Amino acid sequence: MTLLKAVRGTRDLLPPETELWERVEATTRRVFARYNFGEIRTPIFEDTQLFARGVGEETDIVSKEMYTWEDRARAQSEKSQSLTLRPENTAGVVRAYIEHKMGETGLLQKLYYIGPQFRRERPQKGRYRQFWQIGAEVIGPPSAGSESPLRDAEVLEMLASFLDELGISGWTLVLNSVGCSTDRPRYVAALREALAPVKHQMSEDNQRRAETNPLRVLDSKDPSDEAIVANLPKIADYLDEASKAHFAAVLAALDACGVQYEVNPRLVRGLDYYTRTTFEFTHGGLGAQNALLGGGRYDGLSEMLDGPKAPGIGFAMGLDRLILTLQAGQAESAPTLADAFIAPLSESLNAEALALARDLRRAGLRIDLGDGAFRIKKSFEIGNKLARKIVLLGEDEQRSGILTVKNFATGEQTKIPRGELAQALQNS
């Protein structure tokens, strides 16, 4: 009988580390609310078709990284259905947008989510099979202004503010435009043409990419192929006038609010649905996984899912990596101390101690509670680890109604009437 363990690529998050997760989540909700985003919670699993059609049948995510199973039919009349743990959340959000006819409001929908996603990849540090993402989507009918470059810039500015507010410094915003739905195929065709005569000189990886996904050749980190990659056609030369103007307007808006960025004409994203603006925020010190978050515009996604025309832009941020980045900049966090530890000095005083704890907790204090079975020394040892102060409840205290309170930091010990205790603990 072997001990059961968390399955490969999954893990438990324990206190005090979870306090950091809570802080990031609270910052997310606070900052995003200022931009008038609302939270959406979609199911953790969906019809497999949603991801096949939305994310792209040929992407690695769909072709080899999804947790998919056949949900069995329970009745003759019911068909079995292929279901999949969500590998990302944008497709689910767009599905919900369509399903609930959110476009009929005529308003832009600004939605964010925080939740686990699932991909069956080889685990590494900051890369898990159940991983957490924070993301947001701005989506709506064109009449609501959903195609405007202002929306792109607003989302990017929000992210810059968010990272700043979290205290993450040293990030870099990298962005590019991959053009509209007709620009992209034209460019891919040109890439294939340019690669055909030279690809045999390239690395094995790049030869394969040249066949299967020419855009990825641009991402190549192979230094020996650098010269060839540098001479390939640029996406910027294949954008139509509207896409060029869109990108220029995004950059102008970023300039206007002082958000720093780098344009990288080779930044392409793996998902099929991206159009026009694509971006990443990168951070050093994350090893091979240096992207903190990535996103882009997806003007055609709703229609790919048989929905109305609903252009949008969004991003997804790897929370596991964000936490790693935050932890790298600080010492290991200690758990939060309670305001007081209540120590009954005999078992007969346990009930009374709980009543006291209840009063203090109702006053908003963070209180931990010992046990009268503990020797007093043990109560002090435990109290010293968990709380800033210890409140003794012994025979004397019960009789007099005056409690003994000791401050662990200063060693100072005082007597406080029970009725004044909550106030006294709050004030110190």
Residue 44 found at the interface with RNA (CB under 7 A): no
Residue 356 found at the interface with RNA (CB under 7 A): no
Residue 359 found at the interface with RNA (CB under 7 A): no
Beta strand extents in 202-349 (DSSP E only): 262-263, 275-283, 291-297, 312-318, 340-344
Residue 116 found at the interface with RNA (CB under 7 A): no
Count of CB atoms situated within 10 Å of the CB of 262: 12
Q: Which residues contact 379 (CB under 8 A, 6 or more apart)?
A: 341, 343, 345, 370, 390
The residue within the footprint of RNA, chosen from 40, 380, 421, 425 (CB under 7 A), is: 380
Residue 121 found at the interface with RNA (CB under 7 A): yes
Residue 86 found at the interface with RNA (CB under 7 A): no
Query: In the bound complex, what is the minimum distance in angstroms from residue 144's beta carbon to RNA?
Result: 25
- Nearer of residues 99 and 412 to RNA, judged by Cβ: 412
Q: Compose the 136-175 pattern: x for residues touching RNA by CB under 7 A, - for all others.
A: ----------------------------------------
Element (H, E) at 71: strand 68-71
The residue within the footprint of RNA, chosen from 60, 71, 359, 371 (CB under 7 A), is: 60
Query: In the bound complex, what is the minimum distance in angstroms from residue 297's beta carbon to RNA?
Result: 13
DSSP state, residue 330:
S
- Nearer of residues 107 and 402 to RNA, judged by Cβ: 402
What are the residue ranges of helices labelled H in 172-260?
183-195, 204-212, 226-230, 241-256
Query: In the bound complex, what is the minimum distance in angstroms from residue 40's beta carbon to RNA?
Result: 18
The residue within the footprint of RNA, chosen from 139, 340, 404, 421 (CB under 7 A), is: 404
Site for RNA in 238-297 (CB under 7 A): 269-271, 280, 287-289, 291-294
What residues form DSSP beta bridges with 85?
45
- Nearer of residues 210 and 305 to RNA, judged by Cβ: 210
Q: Which residues contact 256 (CB under 8 A, 6 or more apart)?
A: none
Residue 381 found at the interface with RNA (CB under 7 A): yes
Site for RNA in 174-213 (CB under 7 A): 205, 209, 213
Residue 57 found at the interface with RNA (CB under 7 A): no
The residue within the footprint of RNA, chosen from 124, 260, 414, 426 (CB under 7 A), is: 124
- Nearer of residues 333 and 384 to RNA, judged by Cβ: 384
Closest by alpha carbon to 272, among 43, 46, 61, 42?
61
Q: Which residues contact 93 (CB under 8 A, 6 or more apart)?
A: 40, 42, 111, 113, 135, 137, 139, 314
Residue 1 found at the interface with RNA (CB under 7 A): yes
Burial of residue 134 (number of CB atoms within 10 Å: 0-12, 13-18, 19+) = buried
- Nearer of residues 71 and 219 to RNA, judged by Cβ: 219
Query: In the bound complex, what is the minimum distance in angstroms from residue 77's beta carbon to RNA?
Result: 36
Contact status, residue 12 vs residue 6, Cβ threshold 8 Å: yes
Count of CB atoms situated within 10 Å of the CB of 409: 9
What are all long-range contacts of 384-389, with beta carbons under 8 Å and residues at least 24 apart? Answer: 384/408, 386/337, 386/338, 386/341, 387/337, 387/338, 387/339, 387/340, 387/341, 388/337, 388/338, 388/339, 388/340, 389/339, 389/340, 389/341, 389/425, 389/428
Burial of residue 427 (number of CB atoms within 10 Å: 0-12, 13-18, 19+) = exposed
Of 138-146, 234-242, 381-389, 420-428, the window that binds RNA (rule: CB under 7 A) is 381-389
Q: Does a cis peptide bond (omega within 30 degrees of 0) precede residue 197? A: no
- Nearer of residues 87 and 179 to RNA, judged by Cβ: 87
The residue within the footprint of RNA, chosen from 53, 86, 119, 199 (CB under 7 A), is: 119
CA 299 to the chain's CA centroid: 23
Q: What is the dihedral of CA 65, 67, 69, 71, to 10 degrees?
A: -140
Query: In the bound complex, what is the minimum distance in angstroms from residue 273's beta carbon to RNA?
Result: 10
Query: In the bound complex, what is the minimum distance in angstroms from residue 319's beta carbon to RNA?
Result: 8
- Nearer of residues 141 and 300 to RNA, judged by Cβ: 300
Residues engaged in binding RNA (CB under 7 A): 1-2, 5, 7-9, 59-61, 119, 121-128, 131, 133, 205, 209, 213, 216, 219-222, 269-271, 280, 287-289, 291-294, 316-318, 320-321, 345, 375-378, 380-381, 384-385, 392, 394-397, 404, 406, 408-409, 411, 413
